[in-house]
Amino acid sequence: MRHVKDLLNLTGQVAIITGGAAGIGLQMAYAMGEAGADVVLAARKLDRCTEVARKMEKELGIRVLAARCDVSIHEEIDALYEQVMREFKRVDILINNSGATWGAPSLEYPIEAWQKVINTNVNGTWLMCQRAGRIMSKQMYGRIINLASLAAFVGAPADVMDAVAYQTSKAAVAGLTKDLAVKWARYNITVNAIAPGWFPSKMSQGVLDSSGEKMKGFIPMGRFGGEDELKAATLFLASPGAGYTTGVILSVDGGWVAM
């Protein structure tokens, strides 16, 4: 029987986190690094990734690669994986955190907004998974964590969140997660998703500022998520100890979906 410290130890592994240099992505990147993994921070803003990478290397004593990647552009995804394989020769963990949203009334929702959100949140997640799956299937080991949302399970009143493409995209991510979990189990690849509730971030701040107090009424715990309250959930799903856990959508939302 393995010790619990070994079950949660990521030493020697390589973890890619898209959108990992800010917000909840930064929480998850630190969870990987603090458990011993080398980390790849991939996002559209390379300067921010580089700044965070230097800080993490100094604090944690791990290798951190900063890489530019817009997941809505498949050529940039291919380039990212080529860069990671040159540097590390392997990919053990993928966390698909990059995302986009666009607020507009549903009856007038512009097609360009719909396409932007779906292309980033659904197509980008799928292509990142597929490229990782090709590597992990040869390794016969992998952990993929997609970012769904409480929005995958519930509708939202327009005065709380008027972003129909975002709601739709996160439901698609949940479905993709379950299907890949079944298809890739034979390769010892687990595919799970975290469905966060409301955590303060650059993406969510506008909604929290305008509707925050009203939204707390939907949260049994009566508050938003904290700066470290995704780390343990992420580490578990990324760990060797989660080898029999796949196809799970893990809600971290203060009880919203349980209502």
Confidence of residue 53 (pLDDT cuts 50, 70, 90): very high
Q: At what angle do helices 164-184 and 124-139 cross, to 10 degrees?
A: 20
**φ, ψ at 213 (rounded to 5°):** -65, -40
Q: What percent of the chain has pLDDT over 90?
A: 81
Which of the given ranges, 124-138, 156-170, 191-205, has the highest pLDDT on average? 124-138
Residue 243 within any structural domain of the chain: yes
Q: What percent of the chain has pLDDT over 70?
A: 95
For residues 221 and 151, the model is more confident at: 221
Residue 131 within any structural domain of the chain: yes
Residue 221 within any structural domain of the chain: yes
Residue 186 within any structural domain of the chain: yes
Residue 143 within any structural domain of the chain: yes
- For the residues 26-50, what does the mean pLDDT come to? 97
pLDDT attached to residue 144? 98
pLDDT attached to residue 26? 96
Residue 258 within any structural domain of the chain: no
> CB 45: neighbour CB atoms within 10 A?
14
For residues 213 and 5, the model is more confident at: 5
Condensed to tens digits (0 to 9), the pLDDT of residues 168-226 reads 999 999 999 999 999 999 999 999 999 998 887 766 666 666 666 777 878 899 998 88
Structurally, how many domains does the chain consist of?
1
Condensed to tens digits (0 to 9), the pLDDT of residues 16-31 reads 999 999 999 999 999 9
pLDDT attached to residue 8? 98
Confidence of residue 140 (pLDDT cuts 50, 70, 90): very high
Residue 259 within any structural domain of the chain: no
Structural domain harbouring 124: 4-252
Do the beta carbons of residue 66 and residue 50 sit within 8 Å? yes
Confidence of residue 156 (pLDDT cuts 50, 70, 90): confident
Catalytic residues: 166
Whether the per-residue pLDDT at 155 is higher than 90: the answer is no
- For the residues 65-77, what does the mean pLDDT come to? 97
What's the CA gap between 189 and 180, in Å, rounded? Answer: 9
> CB 227: neighbour CB atoms within 10 A?
12
Furthest C-alpha separation in the chain: 58
**φ, ψ at 167 (rounded to 5°):** -55, -45
Residue 16 within any structural domain of the chain: yes
- For the residues 138-146, what does the mean pLDDT come to? 98
pLDDT attached to residue 202? 67
CATH number for 206? 3.40.50.720
